[in-house]
Structure 1
Amino acid sequence: MGYNRGDDGGEELFSRRRFGGFLAAAAVPVTAAALTACEPSVGPAPSASGTGVPPTPAATPAGTSPESTPTAIPSASPEPANPSATAPAPSSPAASAPGPQHSLTDPASPWVVVNKHRPLSPAAFIPPDLVQPAVRLAVSGEAALLNGTTAAAAERMFAAAATAGVVMTLASGYRSYVTQTSTYNGYVATRGQAEADTASARPGFSEHQTGWSFDIGDGGGACSFQPCFAEQPAAVWAKANAHRFGFIVRYPWMYHETTGYYYESWHLRYIGVEAAGDMAARGIPTLEEYFGLEAAPAYL
């Protein structure tokens, strides 16, 4: 699953907390003009479908990357999926989705939903098939790993992007329970738990731990993990094409009250070609809505 990077944790050159504070103080609607009033420029605002304030992140000091340092990983084995949650409710859009139905609770399932109301079970889950995809890497160690299914899909997507003249990099992949614990506890120690919960996922609540998610960077290296990344060729291409390879932008613009995280144009999540294409065709922006689940703006 920092800089309120969705379920990440970390801090880059641009403070989204400062960015959100600017808009709150101005007390004006979120518009393209408001968004471009800050440095660095975010450029034209993505199409908004709701209301709210833009990103407010916090994270690891620039130059440090908890994802890129291999760490000891606790032994764990996945528990069987909850039989009552092996498929979405009949009333949810996903109930009529093409292709096979999958568990929403089993962390080894491409449909597992991890958010601030839905921790992983077991909390220290480790994907059994972690591999390093044959793509351009901007990280090393555990952060360069994905589960086998996601890695294969990422290779196809990166190759298609390259054919279109767009260079993507893998900027952050798998993140272990140990890494997430260290990152989160660092926030609690320096800022207190309330603020830590706005900047970093609690251990066991990170999509990155499943191996189904990863962050992309642009080959030019600009705006990594910053709001302005939405303007970069890699982000623009992924937003328009990722569904063809089974991916969605997990934390879309203006749906933080549903997902619990502000817009992350770099954070992609694999759910399968059928489901991702179905979400795109129906214009359903979040997994919570697609699977008929409650919104998860904050921890319970």
Structure 2
Amino acid sequence: MCHNCVAGSSSGASRRSFARFLAAGAGLTVLAACTPEAPVAEAPSSSAPIPTITSEYTTPSPAAVESTTAAAEPPAQVPVPPSAAASLPGQFSLTDPASPWVVVNKHRPLSPADYAPADLVQPSVQLAASGEAALLNSTTAAAAEAMFAAAAREGMVMVLASGYRSYGTQVVTYNGYVAARGQADADTASARPGYSEHQAGWAFDIADGGGVCGFQPCFADQPAAVWAKANGHRFGFVVRYPWMFHPVTGYYYEPWHLRYIGVEAATDMVGRGINTVEEYFGVEAAPGYP
């Protein structure tokens, strides 16, 4: 859907148009790779429940979004680009979950599926999460501490809203969606177990501390999100699911979801104007599960 729409000033206009569309009450459940999921009756005893936003994605429906942008749809098959990262001196695995370059999407599950980082730690940042959701792998945690500190020095209030999510938590979460909605609809709202970046500890969600537009597209216009998008690469982070690139990433816009790929790669990716990890690392688009 409008594969090349996220560039320069057009993204701000697009967001404003989308905000007006939301206000009209058209109805959407946004695809959420990382959004704290709907509450479930039984969560693993070793894990704190993922925080829930009760107003999460009630407008507009995927069908409504599709109908308003049909003329701007990209080809069904998005070409696989060459890897831009190949020019970097340091190379990392795209499949090893312990690698900062691992690409996790609907075509590329973690292996093993129940992978858990061996170095989970709680970063020294302001938290709006507890239990496992307050953890990151040690590399991501150190980078997050540096980024949050820099944001604070510039007057930005930024909090960690959701970090690590175990395979067991994702099983319960996803199965809860399937039971409530059926699998087809569940796949538009929750990552299948073993297919979530959060499980590898390389990704986390941010909020502004006040709950303004929490886990909603309008968060993109909040100071914390604006600052993170403009400065995250300095600390190794990119916005993993950018505006209107869901035909590539498989998920709608999530301005709160940051992914660590390392300072060199993140800076190169932003400098080249490449919007998605799939395109940067030269892997196929993953709009849906095979």
TM bracket, shorter-chain basis? 0.7 to 0.9
1:108 aligns with 2:98: yes
1:94 aligns with 2:135: no
TM-score by length of 2: 0.79
Instruction: Determine the C-alpha separation between the residues in 2 that align with 1:146 and 1:281.
Output: 26
Q: Which moved more, 1:5-14 or 1:236-245?
A: 5-14
1:19 aligns with 2:60: yes
1:156 aligns with 2:146: yes
Q: Equivalent residue of 2:107, what SS?
A: coil
For the 8 Å contact 1:119–1:205, the answer to whether it is kept is yes
Q: Which runs of 5+ in 2 are unaligned?
A: 1-28, 39-52, 75-79
Q: Which moved more, 1:216-225 or 1:205-214?
A: 216-225
Report the AA paired with residue 286 of structure 2: A
Aligned pair partner of 2:257 in 262, 267, 270: 267
Kindly report the root-mean-square deviation, in angstroms, between the aligned alpha carbons of the 2 structures. 2.3
**Compared CA separation, residues 90 and 96, structure 1 to 2 (3 A):** farther
Q: For residue 15 of structure 1, report the CA deviation from its aligned partner.
A: 4.8
Aligned pair partner of 1:281 in 271, 278, 281: 271
For the 8 Å contact 1:3–1:199, the answer to whether it is kept is yes
Q: For residue 10 of structure 1, report the CA deviation from its aligned partner.
A: 1.8
Instruction: Determine the C-alpha separation between the residues in 1 that align with 2:190 and 2:264.
Output: 31
1:215 aligns with 2:194: no
Deviations 1:159-195, CA, capped at 9 Å, x for gaps: 0000111010000000000000000000111111111
Instruction: Determine the C-alpha separation between the residues in 2 that align with 1:160 and 1:282.
Output: 24
Q: Give aligned pairs, total.
A: 243
2:108 corresponds in structure 1 to 118
1:10 corresponds in structure 2 to 37
Instruction: Determine the C-alpha separation between the residues in 2 that align with 1:28 and 1:191.
Output: 24
Q: For residue 8 of structure 1, report the CA deviation from its aligned partner.
A: 4.2
1:229 corresponds in structure 2 to 219
1:169 corresponds in structure 2 to 159
Q: Which runs of 5+ in 1 are unaligned?
A: 31-49, 54-88
Q: Equivalent residue of 2:151, what SS?
A: helix
Instruction: Determine the C-alpha separation between the residues in 1 that align with 2:92 and 2:113.
Output: 20
Instruction: Determine the C-alpha separation between the residues in 2 that align with 1:268 and 1:95.
Output: 22
1:256 aligns with 2:246: yes
Instruction: Determine the C-alpha separation between the residues in 1 that align with 2:214 and 2:57.
Output: 13
Q: For residue 16 of structure 1, report the CA deviation from its aligned partner.
A: 3.1
TM-score by length of 1: 0.76
2:43 corresponds in structure 1 to none
Percent of aligned positions with the same letter in both sequences?
68
1:145 corresponds in structure 2 to 135
For the 8 Å contact 2:123–2:144, the answer to whether it is kept is yes
1:41 corresponds in structure 2 to none
Q: For residue 228 of structure 1, report the CA deviation from its aligned partner.
A: 1.0
Q: For residue 227 of structure 1, report the CA deviation from its aligned partner.
A: 1.1
For the 8 Å contact 2:81–2:279, the answer to whether it is kept is no
2:23 corresponds in structure 1 to none
1:66 corresponds in structure 2 to none
2:17 corresponds in structure 1 to none
Deviations 1:100-123, CA, capped at 9 Å, x for gaps: 100000000000000000000000
For the 8 Å contact 1:243–1:280, the answer to whether it is kept is yes
Report the AA paired with residue 172 of structure 2: S
For the 8 Å contact 1:184–1:200, the answer to whether it is kept is yes
1:195 corresponds in structure 2 to 185
Instruction: Determine the C-alpha separation between the residues in 1 that align with 2:246 and 2:212.
Output: 24
1:57 corresponds in structure 2 to none
